[in-house]
């Protein structure tokens, strides 16, 4: 095929040969993939198309140069939007709904709609929600949630406590504990409403990375900025997903109704964060140990609007080829290293009086 359409071995195919190839084999392609190929042909003003971009498309891969060409050709698309298509089954309408709630560009929505196979399912978010929250709290502790006034609240091996910061697993396992039923309920709702559609689109690897990075950044932010406080709850990971998704949608989307919907989404998020701030400065049930810190929320937000935005914006592209990805990843690694050294040396150097271990 390469020798037939690129006899001079230049790495490019002329748009005339490209269109003849589409006319010959277009009926074998998904209609939306054919539309993407036509957009690629229309977007090129030099009369040629990169052969590797064509191969990437046919093998369900998209390079950065291909994405840029599609974004230019996107203005020339004349077919109806995916939202206007009729005669879809219930599962197809669900996939279309996920595409419109998650992806801001029409060309990405159609690409996802054609390529999604529900294999694998969004197992990470569902597992971390059911197993981590309900199984542990319900079976091991014989209750679904511990209020901050409960005698066992501090006496467990999961929450992060400044006196026990040498136990490294606590920087992750604190997400399995919550400060009350309202804390658990809102985190579960946000995690499922946002996390499941994101994982359906971007896959478990990317979403789990954003989630875990937010969790780690949350506990490390507490250890640096609120050194005397414990921390519980999955807000670091949840806020990383929510902030990444909202920032990605707001920065790219031009649909005012959609932006208003996501603006209203800030209401429960703001309520949960305001409650966390109030609880932190409310008199503790176990002085001198204060109530849980709210800094984990802010750590998750910072991960979301840096690493998270890059991951979600570059749908189906190699992150290794993205400059901003490496910049923000380097910033995150530097912060983690700084926080580790802070935890090792700063507490003793500052001679900080910490609450006694539980």
Residue 161, beta-bridge partner list: none
DSSP class of 26: G
Q: How far is CA 101 from CA 71, 169, 253, 271, in A?
A: 20, 35, 11, 22
Is the sign of the CA dihedral 274, 276, 277, 281 positive or negative? positive
User: What pLDDT score was predicted for residue 344?
Assistant: 93
User: What pLDDT score was predicted for residue 6?
Assistant: 65
User: What pLDDT score was predicted for residue 213?
Assistant: 97
pTM: 0.80
Q: How far is CA 30 from CA 27, 50, 183, 258, in A?
A: 8, 21, 45, 28
**In this predicted model, what pLDDT tens digit does every residue of 210-248 receive, in sequence order?**
999 999 999 999 999 999 999 988 899 999 999 998 888
Architecture of domain 1-59: Orthogonal Bundle (1.10)
User: What pLDDT score was predicted for residue 212?
Assistant: 96
150-171 mean pLDDT = 86
Q: Which fold has domain 124-350?
A: Rhomboid-like fold (1.20.1540)
User: What pLDDT score was predicted for residue 69?
Assistant: 52
**In this predicted model, what pLDDT tens digit does every residue of 10-49 receive, in sequence order?**
777 777 777 777 667 655 666 666 666 666 666 555 666 6
User: What pLDDT score was predicted for residue 136?
Assistant: 56
User: What pLDDT score was predicted for residue 305?
Assistant: 93
**In this predicted model, what pLDDT tens digit does every residue of 91-120 receive, in sequence order?**
888 988 888 888 877 777 877 887 788 888
CA 235 to chain centre: 13
**In the predicted model, is pLDDT for residue 168 greater than 70?**
yes
Just list the catalytic residues: 235, 297
Residue 55, beta-bridge partner list: none
Torsion, Cα 144 147 150 152, to 10 degrees, reads: 50
* Arithmetic mean of pLDDT over the chain: 79
Instruction: Tell me the H-state helices in the chain.
Output: 2-5, 15-25, 31-43, 51-58, 64-73, 90-102, 106-115, 123-129, 170-173, 181-190, 196-202, 204-225, 235-252, 256-264, 266-281, 295-303, 309-313, 323-341, 347-349
Instruction: Tell me the H-state helices in 156-294.
Output: 170-173, 181-190, 196-202, 204-225, 235-252, 256-264, 266-281
**In the predicted model, is pLDDT for residue 192 greater than 70?**
yes
Strands (E), the chain: 12-14, 48-50
**In this predicted model, what pLDDT tens digit does every residue of 108-160 receive, in sequence order?**
787 788 778 888 889 999 988 876 666 555 565 555 555 666 667 788 788 89
Cβ neighbours for 282, distance < 8 A, ≥ 6 positions apart? 291
**In the predicted model, is pLDDT for residue 205 greater than 70?**
yes
Q: Is the Cβ–Cβ distance between 74 and 105 less than 8 Å?
A: yes
Domain borders along the chain are 1-59, 124-350
């Amino acid at each position: 095929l390469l020798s037939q359409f690129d006899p001079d071995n230049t790495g490019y195919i002329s748009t005339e040969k490209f269109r003849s190839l589409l006319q010959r084999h277009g009926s074998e392609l998904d209609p939306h993939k054919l539309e993407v190929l036509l957009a690629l042909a229309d977007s090129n003003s030099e009369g040629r198309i990169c052969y590797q971009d064509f191969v990437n498309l046919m093998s369900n891969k998209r390079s950065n140069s291909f994405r840029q060409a599609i974004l230019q050709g996107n203005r020339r698309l004349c077919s109806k939007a995916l939202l206007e298509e009729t005669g879809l089954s219930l599962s197809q309408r669900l996939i279309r709904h996920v595409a419109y709630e998650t992806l801001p560009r029409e060309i990405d929505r159609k690409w996802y709609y054609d390529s999604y196979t529900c294999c694998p399912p969004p197992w990470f978010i569902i597992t971390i929600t059911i197993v981590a929250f309900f199984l542990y709290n319900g079976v091991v502790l014989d209750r679904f949630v511990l209020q901050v006034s409960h005698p066992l609240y501090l006496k467990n091996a999961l929450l992060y406590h400044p006196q026990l910061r040498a136990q490294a697993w606590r920087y992750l396992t604190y997400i399995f504990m919550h400060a009350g039923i309202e804390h658990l309920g809102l985190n579960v709702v946000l995690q499922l409403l946002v996390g499941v559609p994101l994982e359906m689109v971007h896959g478990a690897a990317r979403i789990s990375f954003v989630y875990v990075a937010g969790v780690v950044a949350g506990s490390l932010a507490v250890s640096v900025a609120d050194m005397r406080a414990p921390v519980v709850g999955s807000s670091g990971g949840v806020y990383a997903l929510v902030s990444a998704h909202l920032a990605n949608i707001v920065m790219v989307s031009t649909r005012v109704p959609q932006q208003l919907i996501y603006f209203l989404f800030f209401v429960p998020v703001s309520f949960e964060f305001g409650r966390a701030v109030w609880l932190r400065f409310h008199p503790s049930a176990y002085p001198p140990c204060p109530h849980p810190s709210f800094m984990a929320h802010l750590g998750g937000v910072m991960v979301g609007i840096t690493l998270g935005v890059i991951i979600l914006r570059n749908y189906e592209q190699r992150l290794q080829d993205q400059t901003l990805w490496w910049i923000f990843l380097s910033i995150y690694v530097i912060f983690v290293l700084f926080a580790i050294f802070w935890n090792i040396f700063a507490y003793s150097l500052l001679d900080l009086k910490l609450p006694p271990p539980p």
